[in-house]
Amino acid sequence: MPKKIISVGKKIWATMTGWLKKFWSNFRDVPLISWLVAFSVTVALEIFIGQALARMVGLSKPPALFGVALVLDNPAKFLSAIIYMILVYGLPVGVIAYLTKGVGNQIAEWLLQFPLLLTSVVHLLLIYGVMHYWTSISDYRLLVARLAMISIIVTLSLNVVNGYMGEFSCSHPGFMALGAYVSSIFTVLLFVTDNRFGDALLPAFLGPFMFPVSLVLGGFVSAAGALLVAIPSFRTRGDYLAIISLAFMFIVKSLFENLEVVGGARGISNQPDYANLWTIFVWTVLAIWIINNFVRSTMGKALNAVRDGELAASAMTVNTQKTKMVAFLFAAFWAGIGGGLFAHVIRYINPGTFGIRKLAEVLAMVYFGGLNSVTGSIVGAVGFSLISEALRPLDIFKWIFIPIMLILIMIYRPTGLIAFREFDVAQLFQPKGKKDEEGVDHAAA
Amino acid sequence: MPLLEVSNMTHFFGGLRAVHAYNLEIEPGQIRGLIGPNGAGKTTIFNLITGIYDPTEGEILLEGKTIKGREPNKIASRGLGRTFQTLRLWRHMSVIDHIKLGRYSKLDYGLPGAFFSTPRRLREEEKTTKIAMDLLELVGLPETADQLVTNLPYGAQRRVELARALATEPKILFLDEPTAGMNPEELIDMMKIIREVHQELDLAIFLIEHRMKVVMDLCELIQTLDFGEVIAEGTPDDIRNDPKVIDAYLGKEVSV
């Protein structure tokens, strides 16, 4: 009897995935630009009729994050949320993407004759536009979007060490803390009048212009901290880096807990609100661009060589010590930038923020998204941030659900969702559908 | 002046004397062989000269300058390329990237180039790709450039390793059992490629080999090693008839 049930279940599963595949094949040849257009229409739709529509299906306001939080709060609203999501997101996106794919492909084709920079700018502006208006509906969305983008920076930088270089570093929260504290001290000291650091030293209008300086400063301090970890641990291979970097994280945390000058365990607050959506967007794009440049260059490929065979790398003239050192400091720099942005989004930091839970989060994003892959890190950071936010109403059960999800991913895709794939921007913007090329799945190989 | 000169090199692993008073002189363009039974210390000699181990005693000169105790990557960029007995390829990397990495020390776009795609970097990467393609052509694998190296058959992987070593622009090439584990066809291909490489790039080659046919055909001079000491040195014909060599391989007749 149970055998029969299982076989029927399998059949249903097979037909369902078959349908999904067939359904998806209609969208295979939709270029990125059409998707972006479809999403911008959807966002406009939500802005103009979202409120009315939400009322109509029995919700008090448009659900902030795809309605998951709403449903978990009140399961009776399940149907309403689904209807809303389909009417505002599912249906319009699908229809418009499908309808505009011809035009979209023509535009993408036409854009090919221009330099890649221009095409990138067009796409980035569209992405930013969609995000800007999507987040304009609620402050909560804005916060989630900004934190998700910061997660991308941090995850990507950790992937350089844990994925591309194949070491296991645990000190990223420590680097984030260094960046967050340094940039916070910089901006609060110079541009904010408060009772910790006294009067503002410079006029406030200079603040936004000096903000990048404070971030870069934080990044460099993080990199200097990374040097402390790198010198003793890169003489050998294996678990030493994991242990030393974990120790480093705790050292940084207790350092700030005991430094009364910067608030001790109470931390620093009153950071000016410099980290708005577009600032973070620019920094995220910059991080992706630079890190992707690095890992795709022959110098960056040396990291993979060190990971997969250090002896052979050194016999091929690769200076393995220098390579590891540079990558580690580089990763710490970006973690510092991420920390600085984080401090100016939350506008309050304390040492407790940069503890073991943050570490678990960042590691989960890296391994969820996929090792050795920029796309994987982006997917991992955004996906994990959204899931984690959506499950917030579950409270403590969230930390049961998320680990189970991670365990399942580790079992079925040990290197993460999208691992060992190169992030080629030019390919991303290309018109689709002419030649149907399937990406080779290295993760499964 | 010989290209590579090793004099009186001795190495101990703890109390074990792995190599004793080893001498070697290689002239430009020479092909030399090193043979000996298992465990004689052949690969140890390779590792000592290429800087993976630091010899306990002795001197190693490359073009008259010492390379003893230098880091492997420095020695490699001074013109001493090598392959490994067990393949040491990078399993997640494509064939072309393997060969491009051999050019690591020749790239000088520096960190700015690595972080931002500067025109200089694009230029150098393009040049490197071209050189790598030429080398792939030389070893007969141009169509595999974008494949993952682990998807190639064994013989092809060996050739990728050879091309990778050639990308470092060696003046002298160390081949550690280049035909180990190959079938007869692959073996003949490999020997042909070694000959071609030798002629076209005018390299000196120093190789370890177990298959007598390969050593006898390729090498001008052969050293025989047993228990870390050279027991015979000479042309293939000398070696073939040397009683000490026969003893080392087959054992002595015991007089009752």
DSSP calls for B69-112: T--HHHHHHTTEEE--SS----TTSBHHHHHHHTTGGG---HHH
Residue B132 lies in a domain: yes
Predicted confidence at residue A433, as pLDDT, reads 66
Q: What is the mean pLDDT of residues A305-328?
A: 91
Per-residue pLDDT of chain B (256 residues; tens, 9 = 90+): 889 999 999 999 988 999 999 999 999 999 999 998 888 899 999 999 999 999 999 999 999 999 998 999 999 999 999 999 888 999 899 999 999 999 998 988 888 888 988 889 999 999 999 999 999 999 999 999 999 999 999 889 999 999 999 999 999 999 999 988 888 888 998 999 999 999 988 899 999 988 888 888 899 999 999 999 999 999 998 888 888 888 888 776 666 5
Lowest mean pLDDT among A73-77, A317-321, A424-428, B243-247: A73-77
Q: How many Å apart are CA A362 and CA A301, to the nearest integer? A: 23
How does strand B229-234 pair with strand B57-62?
unpaired
Residue B43 lies in a domain: yes
Query: Would the CB atoms of B125 and A298 count as touching at under 8 Å?
Result: yes
Cα nearest neighbour of B79 on chain A: A317
Strand ranges (E), A79-233? none
Predicted confidence at residue A366, as pLDDT, reads 92
**Whether residue B201 is found in the same domain as residue B222:** yes
For A351-362, give one letter per residue: b (16+ CB within 10 A) or e.
bebbeeebbbbb
**For the residues of A395-417, what is the DSSP string, one character each?**
GGGHHHHHHHHHHHHHHH-TT-S
Which range of residues forms the domain containing residue B22?
A: 4-79+170-250
User: Structural domain tally of chain B?
Assistant: 2
Q: How many Å apart are CA B41 and CA B176, to the nearest integer? A: 12
Residue-wise pLDDT tens digits, B2-53:
899 999 999 999 889 999 999 999 999 999 999 988 888 999 999 999 999 9
Give the pTM.
Answer: 0.90
Return the residue in A292, A298, A373 with the most chain B beta carbons within 10 A, the one to mutate for interface testing: A298
Eight-state DSSP code of residue A265: G
How big is the A-B interface in CB pairs under 8 Å?
Answer: 108
Q: Looking at CA atoms only, how far is residue B38 from chain A in angstroms? A: 22
Angle between helices A172-191 and A207-233 (to 10 degrees): 150
Look at domain A139-427 and name its CATH class: mainly alpha
**Whether residue B218 is found in the same domain as residue B102:** no
Predicted confidence at residue A91, as pLDDT, reads 85
Mean pLDDT of chain A: 86
Provide the 3-class DSSP secondary structure of residue B35.
strand
Q: Which CATH number goes with the domain that contains B42?
A: 3.40.50.300
Predicted confidence at residue B117, as pLDDT, reads 84
What is the ipTM, given to two decimal places? 0.90
**% of residues, chain A, pLDDT over 70:** 96
**Whether residue B179 is found in the same domain as residue B240:** yes
Query: Would the CB atoms of B82 and A298 count as touching at under 8 Å?
Result: no
* Chain A residues touching B114 at Cβ < 8 A: 293-294, 297, 299-300
Domain boundary among B154, B181, B209: B154
Lowest mean pLDDT among A80-89, A218-227, B220-229: A80-89
Q: How many Å apart are CA A441 and CA A413, to the nearest integer? A: 11
Residue B123 lies in a domain: yes
Residue B142 lies in a domain: yes
A316 close to B (CB below 8 A): yes
Residue-wise pLDDT tens digits, A164-196:
998 899 999 999 999 999 999 999 888 888 877
Nearest to A387 by CA among A144, A106, A118, A85: A144
Largest distance between two CA atoms of chain A: 79
User: What is the total residue count of chain B?
Assistant: 256
Report CA-CA distances (Å) from A86 to A54, A83, A197, B109.
Answer: 12, 5, 51, 51
Return the residue in B71, B84, B115 with the most chain A beta carbons within 10 A, the one to mutate for interface testing: B115
Angle at A216 between CA A212 and CA A222, to 5 degrees: 145
Rounded to a whole number of angstroms, the CA Rg of chain B reads 19
A326 close to B (CB below 8 A): yes
Q: Are A98 and A27 in contact (CB under 8 A)?
A: yes
User: What is the total residue count of chain A?
Assistant: 445
A293 close to B (CB below 8 A): yes
Q: Are B109 and B118 in contact (CB under 8 A)?
A: yes
Q: How many Å apart are CA A308 and CA A258, to the nearest integer? A: 41
A443, pLDDT greater than 50: no
**Whether residue B148 is found in the same domain as residue B175:** no
Residue B49 lies in a domain: yes
- The strand order across the sheet containing B80-82 reads B80-82, B172-176, B204-208, B31-35, B221-226, B229-234
Q: How many Å apart are CA A55 and CA A53, to the nearest integer? A: 5
A120 close to B (CB below 8 A): no
Query: Would the CB atoms of A316 and B165 count as touching at under 8 Å?
Result: yes
List the single residue in A299, A318, A372 with the smallest CB-CB distance to B92.
A372
B114 close to A (CB below 8 A): yes
Query: Would the CB atoms of B115 and A290 count as touching at under 8 Å?
Result: yes
Query: Would the CB atoms of A312 and B91 count as touching at under 8 Å?
Result: no
**Whether residue B11 is found in the same domain as residue B115:** no
How does strand B80-82 pair with strand B16-26?
unpaired
Lowest mean pLDDT among A213-217, A312-316, A410-414: A410-414
**Whether residue B74 is found in the same domain as residue B192:** yes
Residue B85 lies in a domain: no
Please report where in the chains the tokens 């982006």 appear, as a residue: A378
Please report where in the chains the tokens 């892959």 appear, as a residue: A373
Domain boundary among B154, B189, B205: B154
Predicted confidence at residue A435, as pLDDT, reads 46
List the single residue in B72, B93, B168 with the smallest CB-CB distance to A301.
B93
Of residues A334 and A94, more confidently modeled: A334
Predicted confidence at residue A445, as pLDDT, reads 33
Residue-wise pLDDT tens digits, A363-395:
999 999 989 999 999 999 999 998 888 888 777
List the single residue in B77, B115, B164 with the smallest CB-CB distance to A294.
B115
Predicted confidence at residue A119, as pLDDT, reads 87
Query: Would the CB atoms of B88 and A314 count as touching at under 8 Å?
Result: no
Q: What ranges do the domains of chain A cover?
A: 2-112, 139-427
Cα nearest neighbour of A290 on chain B: B115
Q: How many Å apart are CA A234 and CA A324, to the nearest integer? A: 7
Tokens representing A402 are 């998320």
Residue-wise pLDDT tens digits, A32-69:
888 888 888 888 888 888 888 888 887 777 777 777 76
* Chain A residues touching B125 at Cβ < 8 A: 297-298
